[in-house]
Every structure is written in C-alpha cells, then in structure tokens.
Chains A and B, each alone.
Chain A
Amino acid sequence: MEKILFLVSAFLLVWGLRLQSDPATASKGNKLAAIGMLIAIFSAVIMPVENSNSNLIWIISPLSLSAIIGYLIAKKIKMTSMPQMVSIFNGLGGLSAVLLSFAEINKWISFPDEYQIIVVIVLISSLFIGSVAFTGSLLAFAKLDGYRWSEKLTLPFQHIVNIVFLTMIIGFSYFFISDPEIYYLYIIITFSFIYGVFFVAPIGGADMPVVISLLNSFTGITAALTGIIFGNIVMLLGGILVGAAGTILTVLMCNAMNRSLLNVIIGGFSSSDPSKENKEQGDIKEISDSDFAVQLFYSNKVIIVPGYGLAVAQAQKLCKEIQESLEANDVEVKYAIHPVAGRMPGHMNVLLAEADVDYSKLIELDQANEEFKSTDVAVIIGANDVVNPDAIDDSSSPLFGMPILKVWESKSTVVLKRSMSAGYAGVQNPLFFKKNNKMYFGDAKESLQRLSSELKNL
C-alpha cells in the first residue's frame, strides 16, 4: 500500500514541477506538488517499519504546529521580502537535515554494527552540507535585510582560512569514523557551522540571490543523501529535483550578470576600482512633471523598465495606474524585465503580478532590445546597472559584458531616480548624460503619484 502511495507522490512531485513551466498551469502544478508531499508524509507515517514504536505524538505535534506557523508566515510576508523568506526557509530545511543526520550518527555510535562505513560517510556529508546551508542562509538573510554587521564578518585571507577549515573538517571526520567519539562529532558540527558563515561572508549583498539559489541546491543534495540513507526513493527524487532547480537557477543568474560562479563566490564585484568612476560626465537634464506627462501622453509606444527601486517604494500599483491612463489614450505600454531585475530571478514578475499587471505586457530582454528601436519613450524606474551602456562600450567597467537593456535606442529616455548615486555595482551610469535622456528625481512612489495626477489632468 505505502509503496503505491510513494509512487503516486513521486509522480505528483515531478508532474507538479513540470506544470510550473507555464504561468497558466503553474498554480495547479504547485498544488499537485503539495498534494504529493502530503501523500508522502502520510505514507511515511503509516508505512510498516522494523521495530516500530508508536511515537505518534512526537510526529503529530511538531507537524501541526509548523503547519500553522508556516501558513501564518506565508500569509503575512511582503512580496518584496520574498528573497529573505526563501533564505530563512532554506536555512530551516538545512537545519532539519543537520539534526536528522546527527540523530542517525548518534545511533551509529550506540550500534556500530548496524551501519556500513559508507553510510556514515554519507551521513557526515549530509551533516556538513546541511550545516553550511543553515548558517549560510541565515547570514544571507541578514545581508539581504541590510544588517550592517553582516557585511563586516570577512577575515583577512578569508579564502585561505576557508580551505584550512575545510581540511580540518575532513580530518576530524576521518578521526571520527576510525574512532567514534562523540567529541569529534561536536567539533565537526561546530566547524561546519562556522564554515557556512565564512562561505557566505565575502560575497557581496547584491549577489545574495545567487548564493541562496546555490544553498537551496545544497539543501536539495542533503535531502537526496538522506534519502539514500533511509532507502526512500521519494526523498531521493525530491532532493535531486531541488538540487537541479537550484543549480540551473544559479547558473542562469550568473549568466545574466555575466560572471562565473567562482567569481561570485570569491566576491570580486565589490572590489571595483574607485578611480575609474571619475570619468567626464557632462550635464544632466531634468524634466518637469507636466512635460513628462505630455511627452508620455503623445507617444505611440512606451516601455517601462522597472527595477528594485520601484519595488522598495511599493509603487507597482501606481505604475499600473499610469499604464491604464496611457492605454485609455491609445498609447501602447509594455514592461521590459531584465532577468536580474528585483532581488531574485523573476522577482519583478511577481511584484508586477501583485499589482495586477497582465503578464502578456511583460517582455524579456531579447524582445525588449528589439522593441526599443520603435519606442518613443523608455521610462526607467529605480533600475540602474541593467541599463548601463558601459556594459557594452567600456571594457574596463565591472559591468562589461553583462547583457543589458538598450534603452537608449528609443527616441528618448526618462530615468526616475532618487539621486545621482551609483547603482549596486558602484559605478556611474553614462546613460544619465546622454542627449536624449532626462532625469526625474524623487522617491519612485511620490514621482509616480505626481505623474499620475498630471496625466489625469490632461
């Protein structure tokens, strides 16, 4: 019976993920995967096991408690904080794997004959990877949420220290397997936790999404390893699926920023040469509320390029309002979404969906770059690095080679920004000084509010 249930749940997990490849069926896919998970949990509770003990209370109480907590968090969380939430949840998954491996290893110490050595090796690997995912995710959360101290944890010669730690963890694992003293195990766990912090510490805050995705795939791998230990195929399958998803997303994000994974992990971005920033810059031109409104009003086609600045200002709904008043006057409005717009891949799509923007209006990088040529006004809201022409023109720029939105190919551009400060990559943007560009300063929400009321008065 439970074998059939596990089969059904494995099928539902894969099919559910498969359906998530289309926005129209994605919601159904997620529900199927969730049902698959529930069936798997149920089967694990009813399946016959050797020396079974009825410890049902130990299962039901944590399960129901966390269902309530999980539901409440999921309901309350703001869409802009999605990366933080994913990293916390991922950390919890990692912690779960750590505790589980620890409990299993503890059993091995008591009954050494019941386990093969390779099983113990797998358990220790799972313990290590889970620990790194746990503390790494917590630090990633702190960095994303902007805690100052989280940027100051890097030691001198961090990469060498990391290698030393890694060697010591492997060494102590060897000692532990040859001589199962619990004392060694504590050292392994402590060092693995510290290693997780050291692993994430040198990586810049802007790269956290890549890290979370990478740590996510780590948690998947631990789940798969634990699946091997328990001989449970659903666990193996689920873990590998997550591992694959995490790996692919990590690679995609690195590509979107034109950087290698190694470069992200070493943390090279933050060390850009400050002397390069003082290039001759020319003048910037500001645009007034009414001019901006009129310009948009008499355009045929407007493309909005939203960035994280739009999201932090919570101005997506105003954006939609402006889109509607323009469309009422037969102006074609589209949104160009850069793959790393927002703080996570696809984050901007979620944020715009929250504001009821139809996803057929969202265009991706390649299509957007085609369409800019026939666009009258490109409006850049709270985005900076993803529209920086230096990525194409200046080989000395840290952004060089990154695929970007060529907004300057439209007839004119307007940049909404709080100030002239540099973007995440810490470089100035020559776009601001181009002839056909105008600046519209202010907080995204207030600016769009002014623009929206101007448009309504026209």
Chain B
Amino acid sequence: MNEILNFLVENEILIYLLLFTILLGFEVISKVPSVLHTPLMSGANAISGIVILGAIILIRTTESENYITLILASFALFVGSINVFGGFFVTNRMLEMFNKKKKS
C-alpha cells in the first residue's frame, strides 16, 4: 500500500494528466458524427500504435550486445508500426473518398 501511495505522490503531475486526458479524450471523440465512425476507429487504432515510442526508447537504452531485448523490442517496433502506418494510410484513403465528392 505504501508503495502505491509513494508512486502516486512521486508521479502527481502524471496522475493529474491522466485524469484530464481521459476527460479530453471523451470530449473530443463524442463530437464525432456516426458518418465518420469507421474512419475514426481505424484512425484511433493507428494512434494506439504509439506504443512503438516505448520500443524505440527501449532499443536505444539497451546494450548493443543484449540481443534478446534488441530482437524483442525490434519486433515490437515492427508489428506496432505496421499498425501505425497501415492505419493512417487506410484512414486517409477512406477520408479522401468523402472529400472527393465535396469538390464535384
């Protein structure tokens, strides 16, 4: 229990941030009309690939001989960034279809 309290105190700003981000997230997303829910889902999915930042940081802080960690993190980066790139590209493809008609 003390451990947890200590952690909360040490990371006070982070916890506040967590709370406000949750509110912000709900606020931003709930305004999206149902027309755009599929692109939103694939776009949000792409953003969830942000875990790859952790993989990058991990790779950079690992000794160059520690191959197990390097391979694990590198593979994490690989699959995670397929999610990121594929997600953004496909969302873009969908949204362009909405745009195309606006011009005509």
A interface residues with partner B (beta carbon < 8 Å): 13-14, 17-18, 20-24, 26-27, 30-31, 33-34, 37, 40-41, 44-45, 47, 49-55, 58-59, 61-63, 65-67, 69-71, 73-75, 77, 79, 82, 85-86, 89-90, 92-93, 95-100, 102-104, 106-107, 116-119, 212-213, 216, 219-220, 222-224, 226-249, 252, 337, 339, 342, 344-347, 349-350, 353-354, 356-359, 362, 364
Contacts and interface: CB of A to CB of B under 8 A. Distances in A.
A41 B53 contact: yes
A219 B45 contact: yes
A58 B47 contact: no
Contacts of B29: 17, 241, 244-245, 248
A222 B50 CA distance: 10
Contacts of B87: 70, 74, 89
A71 B22 CA distance: 31
A40 B50 contact: yes
A79 B94 contact: yes
Contacts of A357: 101
A243 B25 contact: yes
Contact of A62 (B25, B51, B75): B75
Contact of A74 (B31, B44, B86): B86
Contacts of A223: 48-51
A213 B45 CA distance: 9
A86 B77 CA distance: 18
B61 A106 contact: no
B95 to A, nearest CB: 4
A353 to B, nearest CB: 4
A18 B56 CA distance: 27
Contacts of A220: 44, 47-48
A116 B75 CA distance: 26
Nearest to B99: A27
Contacts of B55: 96, 99-100
Nearest to A228: B14
Interface in B6-61: 6-7, 11, 14, 17-18, 21-22, 24-26, 28-61
Contacts of A34: 46, 88, 92
Nearest to B77: A62
A350 B41 CA distance: 12
